[in-house]
Each structure stands twice: as C-alpha cells, then as structure tokens.
C-alpha cells in the first residue's frame, strides 16, 4: 500500500504525554481518522536536548511511523518543530505538520499587540515563534519565556503539589510583568497545567495552539484528498520508548489511553 493512501493512519509524536493535547483536538476535528501516537519517554525532556540529539531521536520515530504506513505525521512537539523541522522536512513521503509553523499565521492575525509565549528552553532559544509570527505581522511584540520545570511536573503528575504550584505562579508572574494580552502555551505539555494557571488568571488569557493546528491539519488533508473515506472502525495505537504505565497515568488528565506498547529502537 502506498504511504499516501487516504485510508492510512495519522501519526503523532512528542517526548511524552504532551502531544496527547494535540491528538485530542485532531480527534475532535477528524473523528473518523485512525491514529498512531509515539511518546519518546526514554528521552523526555526534549527541551534540554541538543539539535543533534533531537534529529537522532526523530529519525527513529519517523522511520517507525513510516513503516506503520502513516499518510501524515503531526509533530505534536514545539521543541522539534522549532529546532529540527527545517532539517528533516524533505526526507519523508508523508505529510509532516509542525506545530509552530502551522499555527503562526493564525497567531499573527489575532487583534493584539503583545503576545507572550511559554515554551521549553530549546524552543525559546530557537526564536522560532517570534520568527514565524513576525513573517506575517511585523508589529506584534512577542515575549518568549522558558519554564524550566513544567514538563517534569506534568510527566510526573505533580501539578497539585504545593512546590509545583509555587513554581508555576512565579513563572506566570514573571510573564505578566510584560503585560501580554494573550499567552501561547508553546509546549504541548503545558495545557495540562491550565487548572493551576487559572487559579491566578482567567483562562481567556491563554491560547492552546492545538486547536489551530487541528484545523490546519484538517484543511490540508481535505485539500490534498487525503481524508479517510472507508467505513472501517476507528483505531488508535499508543507506543512509548519507556515506562508505559507512567505514561498511562500521566495521560489520564487529558486522554484515556487503554493500551500502550513499549518500543526500543
């Protein structure tokens, strides 16, 4: 079967449970599609890794998703989208959707002047959000801020612990000193922390790019004649590179994952 077959699955990958926030939105937008998710839990957090390491991990994951016959792969990870997408984008036959580049135009079109971005160290260091947004709106002021502990808090299910709440509050206060009109959750793990963030400020202040990304994926698949048209029952498969039980528990807040298989490359 050719890879670009409309009835083949859509792949997703991230360093862990974060990409499930994207899968959830894509599933709402394209409920009939089949999904294969890979969480690279052996190497989480990606935000502290070098470009070479991220290229290395992504190569194995993308080869795996290619073998699974994915017609498209959603890079449900801001860190890889920001740092390595340009290096790898032409190496695969499937459609590849990086989160940052896919949502930048919509973010740039919002009627605001001051936008905050919460993201990982690597995403902020790459400057990808500012670069991509400024391509469409040179007047937007973009304030990027790295949140060193947030991925660890999410992966270890520690968001309700007192120490975590105080870390999140102090990171939020630092961002608020820039007076942003909106704050983008520029790491797919961060929507897990909305219950904590919204103890201090209104939910309306935050943008989860997953919704925009899901619409972008849908529009592009429709335009390319690649949406599923068979009546076979919908399926979802989940794979991780370590700790499947921890993944299942961590995912619970956002997504009910039944079966997770461990794959070692």
| Cβ closest to ligand DGL, residue 58 vs residue 123 | 123
What is the token pair recorded at 259? 């079966």
Contact between 151 and ligand DGL per CB under 6 A = yes
Residues recorded for the chain: 265
Q: Find where tokens 């989160």 sit.
A: 99
Pick the binder of ligand DGL from 8, 120, 164, 243 (CB under 6 A): 120
| Shortest distance (Å) from residue 25 CB to ligand DGL | 14
Contact between 189 and ligand DGL by CB under 6 A: the answer reads yes
Q: Which of 136, 147, 137 is nearest to 78 (CA)?
A: 147
Interior angle at CA 254, CA 251 and CA 257, nearest 5: 50
144 scored as a contact of ligand DGL (CB under 6 A): no
Give the separation between CA 247 and CA 242, rounded to whole angstroms: 9
Q: Which of 20, 65, 103, 187 binds ligand DGL (CB under 6 A)?
A: 187
Other Cβ atoms closer than 10 A to 226: 20
Kindly state the smallest distance separating residue 75's Cβ from ligand DGL, in Å.
9
Give catalytic status of residue 70 as yes or no: no
Residue pair 253/52 in contact by the 8 Å Cβ criterion: no
Which residue out of 22, 77, 214, 251 is catalytically annotated?
77
| Residue in 78, 83, 130, 164 binding ligand DGL, rule: CB under 6 A | 78
Closest separation between CB of residue 246 and ligand DGL, Å? 14
To ligand DGL, the closest distance from the beta carbon of 45 in angstroms equals 3
Binders in 29-58 for ligand DGL, by CB under 6 A: 44-47
Question: Is 187 a known active-site residue?
Answer: yes
- With binding defined as CB under 6 A, does residue 14 bind ligand DGL? yes
Among 9, 10, 13, 18, binds ligand DGL (CB under 6 A): 18
The size of the interface with ligand DGL (CB under 6 A), counted in residues, is: 16
Query: What is the nearest approach in angstroms of ligand DGL to the Cβ of residue 82?
Result: 8
Integer Cα distance of 74 and 42 in angstroms: 20
Positions marked active-site: 77, 187
Interface contacts to ligand DGL, rule CB under 6 A: 14-15, 18, 44-47, 77-79, 120, 123, 151, 187-189
């Amino acid at each position: 079967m050719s890879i670009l077959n409309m009835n083949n699955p859509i792949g997703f990958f991230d360093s862990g449970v974060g990409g499930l926030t994207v899968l959830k939105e894509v599933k709402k937008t394209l409920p009939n599609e089949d999904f294969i998710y890979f969480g690279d839990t052996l190497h989480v957090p990606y935000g502290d890794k070098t470009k070479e390491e991220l290229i290395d991990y992504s190569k194995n994951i993308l080869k795996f998703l290619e073998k699974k016959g994915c017609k498209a792969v959603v890079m449900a990870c801001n860190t890889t989208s920001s740092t390595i997408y340009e290096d790898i984008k032409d190496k695969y036959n499937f459609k590849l959707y990086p989160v940052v580049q896919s949502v930048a135009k919509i973010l740039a079109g919002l009627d605001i002047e001051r936008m905050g971005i919460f993201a990982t160290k690597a995403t902020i260091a790459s400057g990808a959000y500012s670069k991509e947004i400024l391509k469409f709106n040179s007047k937007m002021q973009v304030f990027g801020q790295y949140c060193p502990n947030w991925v660890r808090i999410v992966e270890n299910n520690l968001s309700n612990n007192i120490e975590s709440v105080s870390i999140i509050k102090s990171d939020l206060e630092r961002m608020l000193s820039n007076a942003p009109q909106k704050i983008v959750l520029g790491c797919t793990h961060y929507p897990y922390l909305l219950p904590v963030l919204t103890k201090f400020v209104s939910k309306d202040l935050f943008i989860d790019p997953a919704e925009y990304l899901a619409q972008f994926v849908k529009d592009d698949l429709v335009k390319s004649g690649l949406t599923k048209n068979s009546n076979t029952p919908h399926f979802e498969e989940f794979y991780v590179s370590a700790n499947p039980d921890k993944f299942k528990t961590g995912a619970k807040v956002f997504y009910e994952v039944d079966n997770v298989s461990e794959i070692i490359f």
